[in-house]
Structure 1
Amino acid sequence: MSRITACIAVVLSFFALPLAAQQSLPPAPLAYEQLEDPAQEEAAQALMETLRCLKCQSQSIADSDAPMAGDMRHQVRSRIQAGEEPEAIRAWLVDRYGDYVSYAPTISETTWPLFAIPVLLLLVAGLILWRRLRKAS
């Protein structure tokens, strides 16, 4: 019985090794360092505050300490430093991670229901209210 337990422990440890290795990587160079140019850092910070951390999901990448958020901050800062426009960086991140990464989603073929359904619900509620008030008088 103890031999089976030991075998299971060995097998499970092999699955845990990749997870431990991911946490031991050093952070990306620009994850925690600001850019030298204040205007570039301001543009990077403004963009980072509108991008969602995919691991935390309730924080922007500017506020999150997750390693993935650090990598995303590094990408934003290095691309800003290279002269890329913030909206081009946002488009690249949305293309890479999906619409969910942006706190400021755009209307597209996949997100239009998010904008249309509340309007339709308000119209239906207004129609029901109008009919009830008309019947009452």
Structure 2
Amino acid sequence: MDRVIWCDKGWQPMYFGFCPSEKAWKKEVKRLGHIDAEYPTNAGTCTVFHETKGWGECILVTIADGAESERNMLEIVGLLVHEATHVWQYILKHMGEKSPSAEFEAYSMQAISMALVQAFDKTRGLPK
């Protein structure tokens, strides 16, 4: 699937999504007005876009193309949780929150991680 999956942001003040491929990246950054943004080449990346067309700030998470053929499901989920942590960190910064309660943080991490894992599975399929 060559389109970004925008996750349900719920109460969160920023949109975040999973970008499954370079082709999807190119289409989405053009739509967001950031044509010059280069596709990340790291194993996992969390990219924040400021001043997007009508969205304010938003975040795209990428996992390297082909990662599912080189890593098992646990490693893929670990990468997604790692990137979910960065999403959460950007959200906290955006809100000006310096010390969220433990439960607020735990539920937020759970929701963001689950949304990214579901988006990855929907677009690229989790390895066995």
* TM-score, scaled to structure 2: 0.26
Q: Which has the higher contact order (CA 8 A, sep 6+)?
A: 2
Give the number of the structure whose residues are more often helix, by fraction: 1
**Which has more strand, going by share of residues?**
2
